[in-house]
Amino acid sequence: MSERVEYVDAGDVLIPKLGLGTWQNTGESCTETVRTALDRGYRHVDTAEAYDNQAAVGEGIARSDVYRDEVFLTTKVWRSNLRHQDVLDSVHESLDELGVEYVDLLLIHWPHPRVPVEETLDAMAELRESGAVEHVGVSNFTRSQLQTARQVADVPVVADQVLYHPYKDQSNLQRYCAGNDVALTAYSPLARGEVLSDAVLERIGERHDRSAAQVALRWLVQQENVVAIPKSSSREHLEENLAVFEFSLTDAEMARISDHGGPLGVRLRNRLPSLVRHLPL
């Protein structure tokens, strides 16, 4: 275990509260980022079949000074592979690409409207039984989809990875996860860069001598059962993001960020139906 990170207790597994996101980081840049992150104290790496970087991630783990069994490695099965046999085949392909014998966590990347979640989870349980996968979870599942998954699964569903940052309310899902030994993993925790110059976060950061990015990440990891997986390919940002365990926010600061909702433009956009939200207004 790394001394630099804290952990979420998700029932039968401890998950490092800060992980490295790798979406859109490929090739040598990805390998070197993973290696650097692990050598600096990260113990959790997030990838996916769909990111086209599993070989690079695996190479980064191999190049680092950290033993494989000290790394919490997550991958995800894409929505075109959610039928029983496709799950088995695609996960074995992922393991080959990663160059590892198992992943710590396998997630269903997105729910599928036509493939019953039970079928996918059955295959994932089989992979767990065989040792190819240590734990299973879901991603982009609403609270009610997560409840259904937990009801039909023969194994614990230990995580739901969803969009979560200061402009995106997930308090309902967070309460449910905290009450049920499920980790809520926040993806795009920096709103893909949108929060970096936020005035409220900057003001709070000034009191602690921290950046807006650190305040956003701290707000997430300070919540019960919440894990954050910021992506960074910069050495300086990797270090900055890991330092979120070195300070804490007051209850008033936590509440201020929870009530924030973001700048007016973001608040308006979040109120629009999703189809309209994606039009270039």
Ligand X SMILES: NC(=O)c1ccc[n+]([C@@H]2O[C@H](COP(=O)([O-])OP(=O)(O)OC[C@H]3O[C@@H](n4cnc5c(N)ncnc54)[C@H](OP(=O)(O)O)[C@@H]3O)[C@@H](O)[C@H]2O)c1
> Which residues belong to the active site?
51
Half-sphere exposure of 45 (CA within 13 A, CB side): 35
Residues ≥6 apart with Cβ < 8 Å to 9: 181
Nearest to 103 by CA among 27, 220, 230, 15: 15
Interacting residues with ligand X (CB under 6 A): 21-23, 46, 109, 139-140, 161, 187-193, 196, 213, 229-234, 237, 240-241
Residues ≥6 apart with Cβ < 8 Å to 119: 82, 83, 84
Q: Is the dihedral of CA 207, 213, 219, 222 positive or negative?
A: negative
> Which residue type does 181 have?
D
Q: Is the dihedral of CA 109, 113, 115, 116 positive or negative?
A: positive
| Burial state string for 97-129 with b = 16 or more CB within 10 A and e = fewer than 16 | bbebebbbbbbbbbbbeebebebbbbbbebbbe
Rounded to an integer, what distance in angstroms lies between the CA atom of residue 128 and that of residue 230? 27
Nearest to 132 by CA among 113, 153, 106, 111: 106
Rounded to an integer, what distance in angstroms lies between the CA atom of residue 67 and that of residue 52? 24
CB 128 within 8 A of CB 135: yes
For 263, other C-beta atoms within 10 Å of its C-beta total 16
CB of 229 to ligand X, least distance (A): 5
Closest residue to ligand X, Cβ-based?
21
